[in-house]
Amino acid sequence: MSILKADHISIQFGGLKAVNDFSLDLEQKELYAIIGPNGAGKTTVFNMLTGIYQPTQGSIYIDGKLMAGCKPYQFTEAGLARTFQNIRLFHGATVLDNVKMAHSFKTDYNFFNMLSRTGKYHAEEKRITEKSMELLEMFDLQDKKNFFANNLPYGEQRKLEIVRALATEPKVILLDEPAAGMNPNEIDDVVSLILRVQKDLGKAILVIEHHMKMVMKIAEYIKVLDFGETISEGTPEKVQNDPKVIEAYLGGHANASRN
């Protein structure tokens, strides 16, 4: 069964049709990518898929559940997590707390347990801390647990965003340009990290990325957006050789194809 399904979604900002008639059907452990020139509407698709924007047309299903009218936190509860193109960490909190914050909605003690610090509070806090540490260790961030998020190097901030998203225990994870601004070595790290999340943790992944080599290597299926329209889709080989895609990239966006 599909984990994330977008059924002909469109969104309009005033007169601008930012995304038109976008569809997607993502199943367990699948890795899809969305590519397209700057301003094509990729992030806008993510914002619709995570409930930040309501599509003006079409509907979204997570794990078979229709998400119409739901708030972003309900999308997360339904099993979806994401990272942001412009990093949005909780910069006033430590690395460990960033991950613990993503556990908040799965915490099982009530307001009065919290105020009076009952045994249940202590047990739950211990569980959350251990789980968060486990995740940090899995991605080699355990030594930095007491760093403040904005003191991490740029690459590790991106990594922490992925770890934090995983902490919500999602079925599908959306990555918005996880390798942006990284050098080739760092990109290799990101690739292996993404593949681990997919293969070892069994998450479905939808990734937006400008680095073509990377996309061609990891994606099983690619959707190409240009001016909000899906101009091509299919396997990496198919998309790569599609004249429409080449034209979209060369038509004023020659830079992107060189990446």
Partner 1 sequence: MNWLRKNSEVIILPLIYVVIFLLQKNKILNNYVIQIIMLAGVNIIMTQSLNLVNGMTGQNSIGHAGFMAVGAYVSALFSKIIFNAAAMPPTMQTIFFLLATIAGGIGAAIFGFLIGMPTLRLKGDYLAIVTLGFGEVIRSIIRITPAVGAARGLTGIPKLASLFWIFVFVVITIYICRNYMDSAYGRGCLAIRDNEVAADTMGINTSKYKVQAFVTSAFIAGIAGSMYAHTLRYLHPDVFSYTKSTDFLVYLYAGGVGSISGSILGAFILTALPEVLRFMNEWRLVIYGGLLVIIILFRPVGMFGGKEFAFLKLKTGGIQHIGFSNLFQRKTKKTIVANEEASR
Cβ–Cβ under 8 Å, residues 15 and 59 = no
| Site of tokens 């908040």 | 104
Beta-sheet pairing, 221-226 with 229-234: antiparallel
* Angle value at C-alpha 31, between 167 and 199, nearest 5 degrees: 60
- Toward Mg ion, which CB reaches closer, 44 or 232? 44
Least distance from partner 1 to the Cβ atom of residue 162, Å: 13
Distances (CA, A) of 61 to 9, 22, 27, 105: 11, 13, 12, 21
* Helix, strand or coil, per DSSP, at residue 207: strand
| C-beta atoms surrounding 187 within 10 Å | 19
With CB under 6 A as the contact rule, which of the stretches 34-42, 97-105, 140-148, 185-193 interacts with ligand ATP? 34-42
Q: Which of residues 81-140 bind partner 1 (CB under 8 A)?
A: 81-82, 84-94, 97, 100-107, 109, 111, 114-117, 121, 124-125, 128
Shortest distance, position 188 Cβ to partner 1, whole Å: 18
Distance of closest approach, residue 50 Cβ to partner 1, in angstroms? 6
Could you say whether residue 18 binds ligand ATP (CB under 6 A)?
Answer: yes
Per CB under 5 A, does 12 bind Mg ion? no
Residues 210-239 that bind partner 1 (CB under 8 A): none
- Choose which of 20, 43, 168, 230 interacts with Mg ion (CB under 5 A): 43
44 binding ligand ATP? (CB under 6 A): yes
The yes or no reply on residue 246 touching partner 1 (CB under 8 A) is no
Q: In this chain, which stretch among 32-40, 111-119, 123-131, 134-142 interacts with ligand ATP, using CB under 6 A?
A: 32-40
**Residue 64 identity:** G
- List the one residue from 5, 31, 33, 36 that touches ligand ATP (CB under 6 A): 36
129 binds ligand ATP (CB under 6 A): no
Q: Identify which of 32, 48, 167 has the alpha carbon closest to the alpha carbon of residue 100.
A: 167
Given the DSSP bridges, would you call strands 229-234 and 31-35 parallel, antiparallel or unpaired?
A: unpaired
Class of residue 48 by CB neighbours under 10 A (exposed 0-12, middle 13-18, buried 19+): buried
User: In the sheet that 2-13 helps form, which strands lie side by side, from edge to edge?
Assistant: 16-27, 2-13, 57-62, 65-66
Residues that bind partner 1 (CB under 8 A): 50-52, 71-73, 75-77, 81-82, 84-94, 97, 100-107, 109, 111, 114-117, 121, 124-125, 128, 148, 150, 154, 157, 164-165, 167-168, 177, 180-181
Residues that bind ligand ATP (CB under 6 A): 13, 16, 18, 36, 38-44, 85
